[in-house]
Amino acid sequence: MQDSKKLVFLAQIFISAFMAILMTGIMGFMHAAFSENWLVEWGMSFLTAWPVAFVLSMIVGPLSFRIAMFILRHMPQATPES
């Protein structure tokens, strides 16, 4: 595997982990606040969400980059003001 592909793969692991832990934590807190089961439920939700988030990030990541590049290519360039 090329170094750039390894970098993207490794970055997707970390990005999906951070997003899964933050989203499940925030949504769990909004739903149950700091109840007795909150931490356990958060952990279980994270373990379920992380693999799903990773697979989805591998699918939508390249698509997102293509969309962003398309937008930037077709965006008018700002001219420096004098």
Going from N- to C-terminal start, the domains of the chain cover 3-73
What is the pLDDT at residue 23? Answer: 92
Answering whether pTM is above 0.85, one says: no
Tens-digit pLDDT profile for the chain (82 aa)? 678 888 888 889 999 999 999 999 888 888 777 777 888 888 899 999 999 999 999 999 889 889 989 998 988 876 667 5
**pLDDT value, residue 20:** 93
Q: Following DSSP, what letter does each residue of the chain receive, concatenated?
A: --HHHHHHHHHHHHHHHHHHHHHHHHHHHHHH-S-TTHHHHHHHHHHHHHHHHHHHHHHHHHHHHHHHHHHHHHSPPPPPP-
